[in-house]
Amino acid sequence: MATWSLLMCLVLAAALLGEGQAEQGDGNRIVGGSEAEAHSWPWQGSLQYRGSHICGCTLINENYCLTAAHCVYRMNPGQLSVVLGEHNLNRRDVTEVTVNVARIIMHEHYDPNGAGFPNDIALLKFPDPVTFSQKIKPVALATPGMDFVGNNNCWITGWGLTQGSHSGGPLSCYVNGRWVVAGATSWGISGCQTTGYPSVYTRVSYFYDWIRQNM
């Protein structure tokens, strides 16, 4: 049986999607890949359908996770849960917490048939606030005007990167002394060794106002 531990990949000049228009970075590529140090990305969540991992998500405060709309399209929130504080999906970590999903807030203009998955963003609301710990912490949202092209400290994280189930998970960048979520994984070539192929992320800064208005 494959071991599904949290993986991380360095991203250079990521393509970020806003309103359906991909912005291509110069030589957009994903390089390298390794198992993440346990709980080093405490905002990473596992979105699960009936107890099985389907996508990643990002803890942005005590009440909400951010993910991609295509991960929850036509889903019933009663069949979804989010696991936080997780590292290895094959075993139960003592640090992990499973939270039910009370409501799915999908972008009203998401189009699953549109070129490039426009407006591929959604919020997952919890029924009760999550308690933070050293292993479970939110990450700041990228704000309008932030530019990540050329940032050499941007990482995607997720489980089963070669299976594509990192969709919805965070593109995290270190900016001005703190981590921010710059994107939610939308689509692209799976895996970490994909030089020359674009991986595309929904631009969080573009949707910042939408996120704030819907929380």
Specify the CATH number for the domain of residue 118: 2.40.10.10
Question: Residues with Cβ < 8 Å from 83, sequence gap 6 or more?
Answer: 45, 46, 48, 96, 97, 98, 99
- Check pLDDT > 90 for residue 65: yes
Task: Mark out the alpha helices in 46-205 (DSSP H runs).
Answer: 69-72
Three-class secondary structure of residue 71 per DSSP: helix
Per cent of the chain over pLDDT 70 is: 73
Q: Give tens-digit pLDDT for 178-214.
A: 999 999 988 655 445 444 445 678 999 999 999 999 9
**What residues does 157 pair with on adjacent strands?**
8
Q: How far is CA 165 from CA 18, 58, 68, 129, in A?
A: 22, 14, 11, 26
Looking at the structure of the chain, the number of domains it has is 1
Q: Among the options 39, 53, 70, 107, which is catalytic?
A: 70
**Does the annotation count 167 as an active-site position?**
yes
Inside any domain, residue 2: no
- Check pLDDT > 60 for residue 31: no
Give residue 106's domain range. 7-213
**Does the annotation count 120 as an active-site position?**
yes
Inside any domain, residue 179: yes
Q: Among the options 46, 81, 165, 167, which is catalytic?
A: 167
Question: At 190, phi and psi to the nearest 5?
Answer: -70, 155
**Does the annotation count 70 as an active-site position?**
yes
Q: Give tens-digit pLDDT for 69-85.
A: 999 999 999 999 999 99
Q: Which is nearest to 123 in space by CA: 154, 168, 92?
A: 168
Q: Among the options 39, 46, 120, 199, which is catalytic?
A: 120
Inside any domain, residue 112: yes
